[in-house]
Amino acid sequence: MTVVGVIAVSAIAVSVLFVSAQNRADKEANLQQTTSTSKPVAVAELPDDIHKEITRLSEEGNALQEAGRLDEALSSFQRAEALLPPGNWEAGMWLLAAIGDVQFQKKNFKESRTAFMDAVKYYDDAKGNAFIRMRLGQSMLELGEEKEAENWLAGAYLMLGKGLFIHEDPKYLLFVKSKLKPPKGGWPDGW
């Protein structure tokens, strides 16, 4: 299931992207200049022309990802990210999720982890997104970071139950369930 499919399941509809290391540093510096809190603050809407092109590139990336053309999908998401002006844009979180998802599908778990960690670092809403939590935990588990993987996967599981894991390798659900104490009477249906 692609990021867009999961977004529809969780009733959140937005674009998706990747942020290069230099661009991330620039965005962090800009965030520190534009907000007095330690948490990122969303700014005004994107200009229409930029929004349209990011949407076009995101849709292109999603179609390429669905077709299994992962390198091209990654390129589309990266080009979309490059269009974001400095600041904290909601589209940034979803583009990071898309890039992380493509990297995960390519088995580039370190790069996937980086994209998803940046999403939760820069965007508070990312911490409450079950898909982002799941993919971050999966990437960490693949990298041998079991304790951290347990935290992120447990959060995702407790948000949406086993339905979130239905199209995933069963090892992830088995891992998280092995780390959680079942409720009295066992896990209810769907969990």
Nearest CA to 15 among 71, 86, 79, 103?
79
Separation of alpha carbons 26 and 47, rounded Å: 20
pLDDT at 44 (0 to 100): 57
Q: Find where tokens 């022309």 sit.
A: 49
Q: Are 21 and 13 in contact (CB under 8 A)?
A: no
pLDDT tens for 123-155 read 989 999 999 999 999 999 999 999 999 999 999
Number of domains in the chain: 1
Q: What is the pLDDT of residues 62-108, one digit of tens each?
A: 999 999 999 999 999 999 989 988 877 889 999 999 999 999 999 99
Is residue 21, in this structure, part of any structural domain at all?
yes
Q: How far is CA 166 from CA 76, 101, 144, 153, 173, in A?
A: 27, 16, 23, 14, 9
As a whole number of angstroms, the distance between CA 121 and CA 115 comes to 10
* CA 74 – CA 122 distance, rounded (Å): 20
Task: Please report whether residue 32 resides in a domain.
Answer: yes
Does the structure show a pLDDT above 60 at 12?
no
DSSP character for 165?
A: G
For the domain that residue 68 is a member of, what is the CATH number? 1.25.40.10
pLDDT above 50 for 6: no
Neighbour count for residue 162 (Cβ, 10 Å): 16
Q: Where does the pLDDT of residue 41 fall: very low under 50, low under 70, confident under 90, or very high at 90 and above?
A: very low
Supply the range of the domain harboring residue 151: 3-179
Per-residue pLDDT reduced to its tens digit, 44-70? 588 999 999 999 999 999 999 999 999
Residue 104 domain-assigned (yes or no)? yes
